[in-house]
Amino acid sequence: MKNKQSLGAFPRTRMRRNRGAEWTRRLVAEHRLAVDDLIWPVFVIEGEDRCEPIPTMPGVDRITIDRLSGAVAEAVDLGIPAVAVFPYTDPALKTPDAREAVNPDNLVCRAIARVKESHPGLGVICDVALDPFNSDGHDGLLRDGVVVNDETLDVLCQQALVQAGAGCDVIAPSDMMDGRVGAIRDALDGAGFAHVLIMSYAAKYASAFYEPFRDAVGSKAALKGDKKTYQMDPANTDEALREVALDIDEGADMVMVKPGLPYLDVVRRVKDAFGVPTFVYNVSGEFAMLKAAAGAGCLDYDRALMECLLAFKRAGADGILTYAALEAARLLKGSE
């Protein structure tokens, strides 16, 4: 504390006094986690009355559209403000040009319509990227082994428009193509969807923590090569600030950092630098690790989960996409 005003010294100052009782700990808590902070990702699959467990994500299922309304009803009852919908596309519909992504009657568009019909007050967020629809498993179009940027933008804009047309409230481009936020904003505005928000996956890293998600949407087996030419290098944080700045300039209403736990420093830098609504994705690998550790008896799952989610808030996140949203919301409701 050299050259700074003294904040006290032992024994007159005893830091443990504020920690001595549960009520004082509540009074002096600097950060709080609430149900309002949670977004629940859900996976949909074709068929009827099916619930298909995802082996690498314990407790997470792919469900058919007829079960979707019932599944999200609990989220609504718990007060969760939004869900993010991801499709498991029939492999027979996957093509090099990802044409199913722009089909207004595709699985994700039908799922959006069902949720908005049954729960109109629940926010619906949709991923804009081609990997669930692309036979090459990439977020963009592949030409001679290279993911092409500008051609991909045209398809992403069409994908955003069919999702908005189905009732999607928030378009969330996760592809990391250059210029996609501005292109999508222009497309939405030009088609009468100026009210639709954009939550940009602004700082999305080429991470090892996505593998269970790729199982969940069926892109893992199809993926040729890796995604390092468009997703960010985990070594870089200044680059993340440039990416976020560009997306804000192009019209992003909210920005996201992905993954979460290994990138808390990036969340903090983004929030400090821009002060815009900042979200974080508690990704599938993080979720699966916690489940595996708890299953092995290494830790208390509920306590560890809430500690991780609070860490996102402490780092500056305004909201958290997490597969544990229902579990966390139940715990928060139970503590009220």
pLDDT at 4: 60
Q: Is the pLDDT of residue 215 over 90?
A: no
Q: Which of 94, 227, 258, 291 is catalytic?
A: 258
Three-state SS for the chain is CCCCCCCCCCCCCCHHHHHCCHHHHHHHCCCCCCHHHEEEEEEEECCCCCEEECCCCCCCEEEEHHHHHHHHHHHHHHCCCEEEEEEECCHHHCECCCHHHHCCCCHHHHHHHHHHHHCCCCEEEEEECCCCCECCCCCCEEECCEEEHHHHHHHHHHHHHHHHHHCCCEEEECCCCCCHHHHHHHHHHHCCCCCCEEEEEEEEECCHHHHHHHHHHCCCCCCCCCCCCCCECCCCCHHHHHHHHHHHHCCCCEEEEECCHHHHHHHHHHHHHHCCCEEEEECHHHHHHHHHHHHCCCCCHHHHHHHHHHHHHHHCCCEEEECCHHHHHHHHHHCC
pTM for the full predicted model: 0.94
| Residue 258 annotated among the catalytic residues of the structure | yes
Q: At 1, is the pLDDT very low, low, confident or very high (cuts 50, 70, 90)? A: very low
Q: Is the pLDDT of residue 71 over 50?
A: yes
All structural domains of the chain:
31-334 (3.20.20.70)
Q: Is the pLDDT of residue 255 over 70?
A: yes
Q: What is the mean pLDDT of residues 195-221?
A: 91
Q: At 334, is the pLDDT very low, low, confident or very high (cuts 50, 70, 90)? A: confident
Lowest-confidence range among 118-122, 169-173, 219-223? 219-223
| Residue 227 annotated among the catalytic residues of the structure | no
Mean residue pLDDT across the chain = 95
